[in-house]
Amino acid sequence: MARLIHLGRVGYRESWARQELELHAVIEGAENAVILCEHDPVYTLGRRRGAIANVIDPGDTPVIEVERGGDVTWHGPGQLVGYPIVRLDEGAPDLHAHLRRLEDVVIGLCADLGIAAGRDARNTGVWIGGRKVCSVGIAVRRWVTWHGLAINCDPDLSAFQRINPCGLDASVMTSLTMELCRPVAVAEVEPLLAARMADW
């Protein structure tokens, strides 16, 4: 069973430091951990070459380079972020399988809410009818993964218009609130995500 760590709303750097702490603990033999939180507004920039070109006009919002794969994305209020710090099978570690597992969790969570979600053959993440509701990006150190997923519950989607999220047009981004035509708060979604990740 994974240790579930609920941080509430925190600055990105604070959660990043907590990820580092838990990453070292799992590398040293501790149980897997799943950090759940909501961030103050921030743009994070992954390792994909040329990703900085997809930052159009961040304004006063910080842009932070991080270790995960992928391009630029936004985190902020109304978005639930999950960081599973998970030891992969050292006999046959499979990062692609881990990415698919993250997507499966969110696809199942959407089903819990009555939404039919799935994958896009060309892009990671979780999609609803051609619209992206969840971004996924990971890093790995000594076969322990960190970083993770971000589910748009009820955010201000206009924040994505200041970037090309994951190299895509901002118009592809959606939220659970938009898809269900009712407010879907982080507080409603977090227990569903926790239940689906408790056995990691």
pLDDT of residue 109: 98
Neighbours of 170 (CB within 10 A): 16
pLDDT of residue 50: 85
CA atoms of 163 and 149, how far apart (whole Å): 18
pLDDT of residue 67: 95
Element (H, E) at 3: strand 3-10
Strands (E), 48-125: 63-65, 72-75, 79-87
pLDDT of residue 92: 60
Q: Which of 18, 22, 75 is nearest to 46 (CA)?
A: 75
3-state secondary structure of 146: strand
Q: At what angle do helices 186-197 and 95-112 cross, to 10 degrees?
A: 130
Relative to beta strand 3-10, strand 79-87 is unpaired
Tell me the β-bridge partners of 135: 150
User: Known catalytic residues?
Assistant: 166
pLDDT of residue 36: 98
Tell me the β-bridge partners of 10: 39
Element (H, E) at 190: helix 186-197
CA atoms of 194 and 51, how far apart (whole Å): 31
pLDDT of residue 103: 98
Cα-Cα-Cα-Cα dihedral sign, residues 35, 123, 45, 88: positive
CA atoms of 115 and 189, how far apart (whole Å): 13
**Prediction pTM value:** 0.96
Contact 99, 124 (CB under 8 A): yes
pLDDT, tens digit only, all 200 positions of the chain: 899 999 999 999 999 999 999 999 999 999 999 999 999 999 999 988 888 999 999 999 999 999 999 999 999 999 999 999 999 976 666 899 999 999 999 999 999 999 999 999 999 999 999 999 999 999 999 999 999 999 999 999 999 999 999 999 999 999 999 999 999 999 999 999 999 999 99
CA atoms of 75 and 195, how far apart (whole Å): 22
pLDDT of residue 126: 98
- Please, what are the domains in the chain? 3-197 (3.30.930.10)
